[in-house]
């Protein structure tokens, strides 16, 4: 009897009011954390970052290793652009919850944003161990390989995505960029045109300018023009479309047409020294030396530019001011000793002065740098003979 009474008193003690209160308190905390977590993620969706962070901070006060709150804080700080802070939250989460997909995804995206592509690849590869069919992650991995110029792995992953989803735009665009980056312009053109077929009705302007740029690089300028014009119909002030058209007309030696687009760029960006120099070149090729000189000087007033000084030197040479041109070109060579064009122009000045020996000496000086250039080699043979 006494034993039963003793055991009964133990049971009453174990399930007594104090323990029941603790259980209720714990359940209440779990419920509160759950509600705060839901609220925090909803606020994140609504882009109310400070309010979301307030919710996650309240959770971490109670449970410093809570995976939902740590990922939530990582996502919130990442949205704010504080990538290094976000990294710490994701790493804290992974230290206590290894393999958390959301933390892995966020961490990899942070490394990508910080241009630490090798680290991003390493994390995404970990993610793919849990979910190797995730197309979003696969395209990010392929993009990261492209950024570190790993052509083989990048292409393999993009093609793997296309096996899973034949018309995936990110993989097609990625392959276009990949081949373009490696100067395989015909292959790049294949993928950009494929993208055009898929999205005929609502083609992205970047696809049009990319196709135009492939033709520009392939020197099939007349084929590139319609794509840049289409892009301009969508965005009349698009820099890449204006530049592409100007450069195509320049490549076709239609200087007046190229000037139309160089000047349209300058209307928006009058202090763009590269465009000022290109426009100066166009005026020079049209023998409008006064305007050409004006554009070159405007470029030089912004900042020193080799090609603006070169343009002025070529004008001086054309106007038979050979010594002035020689002095300018000599100064440029001191600053840019590997630029073959400077040597070619300088040699031509000496030829114009009927001093072939000096012209040969200039070209030999370039060859002593150990750089092989067909234009220099051809001229040197011509002058020597």
Task: Assess whether 317 and 372 both reside in one domain.
Answer: yes
Task: Assess whether 124 and 31 both reside in one domain.
Answer: yes
Tell me the CA distances in angstroms from 362 to 56, 91, 373, one per residue in order: 70, 60, 14
Task: Assess whether 33 and 108 both reside in one domain.
Answer: yes
Q: Is residue 216 part of a domain?
A: no
Q: Is residue 184 part of a domain?
A: yes
Structural domain including 375 reads 304-385
Task: Assess whether 329 and 381 both reside in one domain.
Answer: yes
Q: Is residue 276 part of a domain?
A: no
Q: How wide is the angle at C-alpha 100 spanned by C-alphas 95 and 103, nearest 5°?
A: 80
Q: How far is CA 295 from the centre of its chain?
A: 30
pLDDT at res. 14: 46
User: Could you say which of 177, 203, 229 is where a domain stops?
Assistant: 203
pLDDT at res. 185: 97
Task: Assess whether 112 and 169 both reside in one domain.
Answer: no
Q: Is residue 240 part of a domain?
A: no
Q: What are the pLDDT digits (tens) for 105-117?
A: 999 999 999 999 9
Q: Is residue 375 part of a domain?
A: yes
d(CA 242, CA 238): 6
Least Cα distance to 175 among 199, 205, 142 occurs for 142
The secondary structure of the chain in percent helix, strand, coil, rounded to multiples of 5, reads 80, 0, 20
Q: What are the pLDDT digits (tens) for 123-132?
A: 999 999 888 8
In the chain, which residues have pLDDT < 70? Answer: 1-29, 201
User: Could you say which of 186, 203, 220 is where a domain stops?
Assistant: 203
> Taking a C-beta distance cutoff of 8 angstroms, is the pair 344, 311 a contact?
no
Task: Assess whether 145 and 128 both reside in one domain.
Answer: no
Tell me the CA distances in angstroms from 69 to 1, 94, 298, 370, one per residue in order: 53, 12, 56, 60
Q: Which long-range contacts (CB under 8 A, 24 or more apart) does 173-177 make?
A: 173/207, 174/139, 174/142, 174/143, 174/146, 176/210, 177/146, 177/210
> Taking a C-beta distance cutoff of 8 angstroms, is the pair 161, 139 a contact?
yes
Q: Which helix (H) or strand (E) holds 14?
A: helix 2-14
Q: For tokens 């204006």, what's the residue?
A: 242
- Which H, E and C letters describe 192-231, residue by residue? HHHHHHHCCCCCCHHHHHHHHHHHHHHCCHHHHHHHHHHH
Q: Is residue 283 part of a domain?
A: no
pLDDT at res. 34: 86
Neighbours of 252 (CB within 10 A): 14
pLDDT at res. 323: 96
Q: What are the pLDDT digits (tens) for 64-79?
A: 999 999 999 999 999 9
Q: For tokens 């750089």, what's the residue?
A: 371
Task: Assess whether 76 and 147 both reside in one domain.
Answer: no
Task: For residue 259, give every residue at least 6 positions away whose Cβ sits within 8 Å of its Cβ, in sequence order, or none.
Answer: 246, 279, 282, 283, 286
Least Cα distance to 251 among 221, 223, 275 occurs for 221
d(CA 213, CA 225): 10
Give the three-class secondary structure for 355: coil
DSSP 8-state code for residue 15: T
Task: Assess whether 95 and 49 both reside in one domain.
Answer: yes
End-to-end Cα distance, the chain: 128
Q: Is residue 118 part of a domain?
A: yes
Q: For tokens 């053109």, what's the residue?
A: 189
Task: Assess whether 115 and 152 both reside in one domain.
Answer: no
pLDDT at res. 8: 35
pLDDT at res. 28: 60
Give the three-class secondary structure for 361: helix
> Taking a C-beta distance cutoff of 8 angstroms, is the pair 342, 336 a contact?
yes
Task: Assess whether 126 and 22 both reside in one domain.
Answer: yes
Task: Assess whether 343 and 321 both reside in one domain.
Answer: yes
Task: Assess whether 26 and 45 both reside in one domain.
Answer: yes
Give the domain CATH number at 59: 1.25.40.10
- Predicted TM-score (pTM) of the model is 0.79
Q: Is residue 332 part of a domain?
A: yes
User: Could you say which of 203, 233, 260 is where a domain stops?
Assistant: 203
Number of domains in the chain: 3
């Amino acid at each position: 009897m006494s034993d039963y009474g003793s055991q009964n008193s133990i049971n009453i003690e174990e399930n007594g009011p104090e323990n029941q209160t603790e259980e209720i308190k714990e359940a209440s905390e779990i419920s509160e954390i759950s509600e705060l977590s839901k609220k925090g993620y909803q606020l994140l969706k609504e882009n109310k970052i400070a309010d979301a962070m307030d919710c996650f901070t309240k959770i971490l006060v109670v449970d410093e290793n809570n995976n939902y709150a740590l990922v939530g804080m990582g996502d919130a700080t990442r949205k704010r652009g504080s990538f290094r802070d976000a990294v710490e939250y994701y790493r804290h989460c992974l230290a206590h919850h290894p393999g958390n997909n959301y933390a892995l995804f966020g961490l990899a995206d942070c490394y990508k944003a910080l241009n630490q592509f090798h680290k991003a690849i390493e994390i995404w590869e970990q993610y793919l161990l849990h979910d190797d069919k995730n197309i979003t992650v696969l395209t990010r991995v392929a993009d990261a390989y492209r950024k570190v110029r790993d052509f083989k792995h990048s292409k393999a992953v993009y093609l793997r995505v296309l096996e899973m989803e034949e018309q995936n735009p990110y993989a097609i665009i990625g392959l276009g960029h990949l081949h373009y980056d490696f100067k395989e312009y015909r292959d790049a053109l294949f993928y950009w045109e494929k993208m055009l077929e898929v999205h005929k009705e609502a083609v992205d302007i970047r696809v049009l300018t990319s196709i135009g740029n492939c033709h520009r690089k392939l020197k099939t300028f007349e084929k590139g023009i319609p794509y840049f014009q289409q892009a301009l119909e969508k965005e009349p002030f698009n820099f890449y479309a204006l530049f592409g058209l100007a450069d195509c007309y320049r490549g076709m030696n239609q200087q007046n047409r190229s000037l139309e687009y160089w000047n349209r760029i300058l209307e928006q960006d009058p202090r763009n020294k590269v465009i000022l120099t290109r426009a100066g070149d166009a005026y020079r090729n049209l023998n409008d030396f006064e305007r050409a000189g004006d554009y070159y000087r405007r470029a030089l007033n912004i900042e020193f530019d080799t090609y603006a000084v070169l343009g002025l030197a070529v004008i001086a040479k054309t106007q038979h001011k050979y010594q002035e041109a020689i002095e300018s070109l000599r100064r440029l060579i001191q600053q840019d000793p590997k630029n073959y064009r400077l040597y070619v122009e300088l040699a031509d000045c000496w030829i114009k002065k009927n001093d072939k020996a000096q012209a040969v000496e200039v070209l030999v000086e370039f060859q002593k740098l150990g750089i092989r250039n067909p234009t220099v080699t051809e001229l040197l043979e011509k002058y020597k003979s």
